[in-house]
Chains A and B, each alone.
Chain A
Amino acid sequence: GDSVTQTEGLVTLTEGLPVMLNCTYQTIYSNPFLFWYVQHLNESPRLLLKSFTDNKRTEHQGFHATLHKSSSSFHLQKSSAQLSDSALYYCALSDTNAYKVIFGKGTHLHVLP
């Protein structure tokens, strides 16, 4: 079946260092949509960015990700972490004709001063 894998449960790094959160997926969908949702403490998830175009970089609020269909990946990156980036990040998968979105297990990002 369709699935999303986020290998890191927790990523801890120092402010100013680059961020990379891994996301790979398996799907039968021919035109998958990939998403990153972010959930800050005591808040609900909200969309950070999404993509369906192969090999095209998508950016929002300093974060970027590129969908690579050849490797089934959609890693989230940022050049310099900020304390306010500390949150739970979900990678998610869907398709134009899908009735639902499948979420990965989430990665906690903890940015230290």
Chain B
Amino acid sequence: ETAVFQTPNYHVTQVGNEVSFNCKQTLGHDTMYWYKQDSKKLLKIMFSYNNKQLIVNETVPRRFSPQSSDKAHLNLRIKSVEPEDSAVYLCASSQDWGGSYEQYFGPGTRLTVL
């Protein structure tokens, strides 16, 4: 099956803990993204990678750090979570960078910070 896969589906943690999310795409795409979708459903890009190189790094707190081992994998680590980090984190991929390409989204990881 070709798609974008994310683990875990959801995660509940306490303030100050570290969390990691994983994303894998089997579509053969060169570009991958992390988006944050908050409780009001606002969808904001956080990071974008092309061929495992970081190309977009929006104004995101330093506790967020992405990692890409190859063009099919993109992970996100949050060092010390805060309540405002509660959201759905969506991973996406596209054939290449450049805004004309369709983005394919994974199912998301729902993070709840207590």
Contacts and interface: CB of A to CB of B under 8 A. Distances in A.
Q: Is A bound to B?
A: yes
Interface of A: 33, 35, 37, 39, 43-47, 50, 52, 88, 90, 93-103, 105-106
Given A44-B105, A44-B106, A44-B108, A99 B48 contact: yes
10 shortest interchain CB distances as A-B pairs: A94-B99, A44-B105, A98-B99, A103-B43, A47-B102, A99-B56, A95-B99, A100-B45, A33-B100, A33-B99
B27 interface: no
Q: How extensive is the interface on chain B, given as a class? A: 20 to 34
B42 A101 contact: no
Q: Chain B's interface: helix, strand, loop or mixed, by majority? A: loop
A94 to B, nearest CB: 2
Contacts of A47: 102-103
